[in-house]
Chains A and B, each alone.
Chain A
Amino acid sequence: EIVLTQSPGTLSLSPGESATLSCRASQSISTNSLGWYQQKPGQAPRLLIYGASSRTTGIPDRFSGSGSGTDFTLTINRLEPEDFAVYYCQQYGNSPRFGPGTKVDMK
């Protein structure tokens, strides 16, 4: 069973700063299977990144994903007010898994 760990749990930043979110898998996973989702309070999750590094249509290029094996990163450059949210990584497999999430809140 693959377990995803996300760090930090909470990231307190100001608009204009950059955010680096980490997702670590308990065993090596395919980059094809790693996705990142954004969720704002009271809303459904939204797919940002699939295949570890490909942005979904309409996602600004300040969002970027990278990584391979067991370590993956979501980077948000120049945070905008609308970027303050919870971010989940997901391993897509026969039994998809989500990480516990990283909350990016405003300092």
Chain B
Amino acid sequence: EMQLVESGGGLAQPGGSLRLSCAASGFTFSNNWMHWVRQAPGEGLEWVSRITTDGGDTTYADSVRGRFTISRDNAKNTLYLQMHSLRAEDTAVYYCARDHLFASGRSAFDVWGQGTMVTVSS
């Protein structure tokens, strides 16, 4: 069974840092691009960041660029999100998601973790 399990969430102070992890199992992790998506309480989904299979290319939403860093360790089947300079508006459930390339060039996020809650508050 393909599975993603996030960890590392918790309470952080404004301006503080946290590192989220996402452990993958049940599929060949190194074959897939990966994403982080977040959801503020009572709000919709917001894409945060993407990383290619070897980690050589990363993309960020404008709201986190320069503060967050996505990375991966394919030997450990783990995705990371290092978050610095946290703000109250970063408070959300953070999901990792697998990027899957279907036939005919169609892509979507086909496997999701259960999410980890990040609260930024003093």
A88 contacts B47, C-beta separation under 8 Å: no
Contacts of B109 in A (CB 8 A): 35, 37, 45, 47, 90, 96
**What is the total of A-B residue contacts with beta carbons within 8 Å?**
64
Any chain A CB within 8 A of the CB of B80? no
SS class, residues of chain B in contact with chain A: strand
B108 contacts A92, C-beta separation under 8 Å: yes
Number of interface residues of B (CB under 8 A): 22
Q: Which range contains the number of A residues in contact with the other chain?
A: 20 to 34
B59 contacts A95, C-beta separation under 8 Å: yes
Contacts of A32 in B (CB 8 A): 104-107
Q: Tell me the smallest distance from the CB of B5 to a CB of chain A, in Å.
A: 11
Contacts of B110 in A (CB 8 A): 47, 50, 56
- By a beta-carbon cutoff of 8 Å, the part of chain A in contact with chain B is 32-33, 35, 37, 39, 43-47, 50-51, 54, 56, 88, 90, 92, 94-101
